[in-house]
Every structure is written in C-alpha cells, then in structure tokens.
Chain A
C-alpha cells in the first residue's frame, strides 16, 4: 500500500499532530516503505484463525463496585499546565 501526502495529512489530523506541508511528502515515503514491508503478512493463511488480542487467557477480574479512592484534587492537579480553584484550566472549547 502506497501512502500519499494527502493520506498523511488526513492521518496526522486524526492523530492531532501538526505536520508542516513540507514534511508530508517525506513522511509519505517513509510510511510507504514501512507499510510495503508489512504487506508480507498477506502471505499468511489466516482463514478461520481467531484474532489474538491478549497474551493472558484470563477473563477480566471483577471487583466490588465501591469507591476506592478520590478527593485527591491537589495531587491530580499538581502537574497541570493550568489549574484554578480545584479545576483544570483548558483553552476555550465552546465558542
């Protein structure tokens, strides 16, 4: 699969990473090289094979539906780029 500059622009948008226009062509070439190498997976017969999502065969553990922690606004906000009155401060979301 060849990836073109337009595809890189679209994927970068989806990934929320700004890529300047002059980077789109070089990135398209790099990603195409990687994806072409990956294409060899097509050689593997996977008909009827169950996809493997985890190396652990256990079902997810359950726990009591109770509050185990909380009330830690101070530590939670300690690394925030912006915080005020116990809340995160973020750029305007709704105009």
Chain B
C-alpha cells in the first residue's frame, strides 16, 4: 500500500486542497493498487481511462479554485448503480453488456462534488446474497485472512466488492446499497465503516431495483468521518424518485467529534441469540462500556418482534423482487435467448440470465403473491412489518439510539454457508429489522476475534437522525482505536 492509498478520505482531500499531490497522482496510485489486487476480484470493471480524465478535470478545477467537497478523491462504485456510458451489470448475466444511457442520481451527486470513478465493484447478483458468492463474476475474496491460515474468506454481501476494496486500500471510499444488511454486514466482515441512511435519504433513481420499499444506498469507508463526508454528497432530494425525502441534508461530518454525553442508548435484549460466538457478546459489552465512558446512559430495551423480521423480509423482499425483475424479458436490453415463440424466448432468457439464488427468490415472490396465498403470506408479512416498526417507535420514546452487534459471526469461508439458503439468510438477523422500519444504522469495527478477524458493532437511530449515529460512532471509533489492517497476501 503506497502512502497515497493508505490515506483516509479526509486526509486525501486535505492533501489535494493543499496541492501536496495531484488528483492524477492519487488516482494513479489507486489504479496501481487495483491492478495488483486482482486476486481479490473486487472489481467487475476497471475504468482507468475515465478515472484519469476525471482526475485531470479535478486538477484543473483545483487550480482554478473551483474544487468541490470531494474534488479529486478516487472512489469505487457498486455495479448496482447505473453509470452513463460505463457497463453496469448488477452482478448478473441477464444485463449482458448493458451500457446505461443515463447516470444514477447518487453517482451524479458524487461527480458533481468532484469524486473520481476508479471502476465498478463486484456484488451479489441483484444484491441478493450475504457472501458475494451469487455474483455472475465469481465471489470477491476478503482481504482479511485468519491468523496462520490461507483460506479464502467472504467479505460478506451484497456489497462485498465495495467493502473489500475499501479494506484493501484500493479506493478511498465506495458506494454500496443495503436492502437487508448489504452495507453493514460486509463492513463488519472487513473492518470498515458502513452506513445505511434513513429510507428516502439517497435517491434510488438509476440504482437497479431489488426490493423497492427496502433498498437504500449508502457509503462504505475507512472511518466514521469519511462515511459522513460521502453520505453528505450522496444524499438529497430527487424529484425522479417519488420516495426521495424533500428535506435538506444535514452537514454530517459536523456531527463527528461531538460529545455524545447525555444520550440514552438502548440495548435490545432480543438481539442476544443462541449460538452467537462469545467474542461477539464480549464486544457488545465492550461497546456498552465505551458509550458509558463517553457519558451515555445505557438501558435495556425490548423489541419483541425481532425474531420475526427475517421471515417477514423473506416474503416482502422476494415479492418486490419478483415484480421488479419481471422487466428482464430479453426485449429491450440485456440478454436474449433464442426460442421458438415469444414465451419460449422469455423463459429461456430468464433461465439463462438469472443465477440460482435470484431464481429462488423470484419463485418465492411469485408464489407468495399468487392467487390464494397473497393474504396468508404477503399481507401477513406487511402486518408483521408494522409490528416491527412499532417496536422501534416504542423504544425510541425512551432512548436516542440502539447498540447491537452487526453480524452473528466474523467472516466465514467461501462455500461454507452456500448449501443451505436459510443458514445464509441468518447473516442478516441483526441488520434486516432496520430496513423493514426504514431507519438509519451504521456499522463500525469494534475489534478482532481470536483468529484476528474484524467484528462490527451496529448503532441504530431514529428516522432522519443520522447525526446522532455519526456522533456516537465517532466516539466509539475513538475508544475502540481500531487500527488493524489486513496483511497483504495478494
């Protein structure tokens, strides 16, 4: 890792502003790191020509005194975001060589603020997965390895490429998306920071849809402040997304470094699940101690419907997915298979283009929405979803934020959980509740387990209160003083 790729985003922006190095120099350093890290399979498309052109334009704007808040900062983009003129695949074969004729709002916001695109990051197909193994481009490999082992581990999913690239120093930060935990779980498994903001903060326009009532974009970065800097640029009202919130974006970085003294934190007892490694429980206790030391009051709270969140999610998300993914019919873009008639073309296109997990979810979604089952499953799940949201409302009457583990385990081996879909789904047990309720939540690294692998802690906030999360996470980051880096083996 060269000096320029080891910087935080904040330090890099300061160095660029002070002209200690140019955008082109820091971009070239990252392009070299990406090239050297191909065994990680973090990128599905490297865009060095675009990156250098954007970097030179940034250098010109810096010279002209017209620098934006992210001017010259090289970042990576999850391949779920449409990028104009640059292939966007959602990790699927069915999109083929789809080259979007338009730019997603989130990425447009980042380019408006001066960021430089290094390439498109690998991910689970259509963001459906928790280990990156459903990607049509093969799994991303976690830069972290257990001590004394050279076994390949998962970086988590679905934003595994984003998390691995940030952890390995290939990008200063990355965009990601989170439908059931896809920002926070990979952040936890790679020792990085990831925040899913309140539903509606980031526009979904130009983000390939998975489950529209749950999908939300956010950043993965190396520090809490870096995540705040990126989220400030990514967020904002967009008339092109009818669920985008028409409210001003707070100055998120300003919340980092404030004292959390006096805030009340809830510890939900239902998040203490059977079979959780004792180290995760211990880290959770440590997190409580850090917050108490920082002047917070910590109380136990109850979220009684927590255990029903995952099964409710596995009705709602597949139902929405089966509807959203109906558009991939081989007619207007993407893959088209040969067939004797129109129906055969549809069926063969979708059989050839979708991977097993995506097909599984489309089938579940189609089943629960089909005649005779709608009330028993879909409507029931939507009612349970209301119960889960009500649990949070009740808890937030008495506390300002909640502290939980992010994931039930550290990074696991590639292939280890792929035989049993339900075992894989359980990865999102602590993260999925927040998507159902639309709340913001951040994951930050808290420490290492006995094998030297990172573990994450999650803070959940009130709707629109990302500010409190940045303050609390900033204080915990300082207390945790997490400096471990993956040892370079690639």
Contacts and interface: CB of A to CB of B under 8 A. Distances in A.
A88 B436 CA distance: 38
Nearest to B240: A68
Nearest to B380: A41
B242 interface: yes
A66 to B, nearest CB: 13
Interface string B171-202: 00000000000000000000000000001100
Contacts, number: 160
Nearest to A40: B311
Given A49-B386, A79-B334, A17 B362 contact: yes
Contacts of B359: 17, 19
Interface string A63-77: 100000000100110
Contact of B312 (A3, A41, A81, A82): A41
Interface in A53-95: 53-56, 58, 60-61, 63, 72, 75-76, 78-82, 88, 90-93
Contact-size category for B? 35 or more
A90 B342 contact: yes
Nearest to A19: B351
A63 B239 contact: yes
A15 B366 contact: yes
Interface stretch (B128-136, B266-274, B284-292, B325-333): B325-333
B51 to A, nearest CB: 23
Interface string A11-46: 110111111000000010011011101111111101
Contacts of A7: 367
B342 A93 contact: yes
Nearest to A7: B367
Contacts of B363: 8, 11-12, 15, 17, 27, 31
A79 B377 contact: no
Nearest to A16: B346
Given A11-B367, A31-B360, A31-B364, A38 B351 contact: no
A27 B311 CA distance: 19
Given A37-B311, A46-B384, A76-B101, A88 B351 contact: no
B242 A46 contact: no
Contacts of A39: 311
B415 interface: no
A56 B312 CA distance: 18
B351 to A, nearest CB: 4
Contact-size category for A? 35 or more
B421 interface: yes
A46 B380 contact: yes
A68 B158 CA distance: 35
Residue among A53, A60, A76 with most chain B CB within 10 A: A53
A7 B367 CA distance: 9
Given A17-B359, A90-B331, A44 B345 contact: no
B330 A41 contact: no
B379 A14 contact: no
A92 B339 CA distance: 11
Contacts of B447: none
Contacts of B347: 16-18
Contacts of B437: 55
B423 to A, nearest CB: 10
A79 B387 contact: no
A11 B342 contact: no
A41 B311 contact: yes
15 contacts: A12-B363, A16-B326, A16-B346, A17-B354, A18-B350, A31-B363, A34-B314, A35-B367, A40-B307, A41-B308, A46-B383, A55-B200, A61-B246, A63-B239, A81-B335
